[in-house]
Structure 1
Amino acid sequence: MKTALTNPVNANQAAQTSQLIPASPTLVENPSTWMRNGDSPGEIILAVAILTSVSIAGIASVIVAITGLVKTLVHLTREKTK
């Protein structure tokens, strides 16, 4: 960040105002660093979304398999009792 320097108001003024205020360090990293390190917020959100959808699909397939097994067992049990 560049600071505009002004001429001193008084002839005796030795330091500029911008020299008296220390520059604050930046707290946010450069987005190119995120991409280089592989930890950008967008990548993290995308990875979480993909893992969530895969997990939901896996749980759904287990539920379908258990439902099919229960239907088969109920069908076999009914045939034996007839």
Structure 2
Amino acid sequence: MRKHRTPEQWQALVNQQRDSGLSASKFCKQENIGYASFCNWRKRLSDQAAGDSADSGEAGFLDLSSLMGAAQSGPGWNIVLSLG
């Protein structure tokens, strides 16, 4: 019979595997866990954590106003296209 686990239980298993030093395959065999299920949950939880951290912080914008003076003083670009 299949054992249904909560996301919190999967996170605990992912943490245990990471801390064990075992490969995911060996850990899954030792704990009698389906390797594919473990990998799917590990990816899902990793993606979720990455999304949460991206949503929680401020946008990574850089104020370029100080660079605008330097860019305007230069000659700029001159692009010539020869289209035959």
TM superposition score normalised by structure 2: 0.31
**Which one has a bigger Cα radius of gyration?**
1
Q: Normalising by structure 1, what TM-score?
A: 0.32
Q: Which has the higher contact order (CA 8 A, sep 6+)?
A: 2
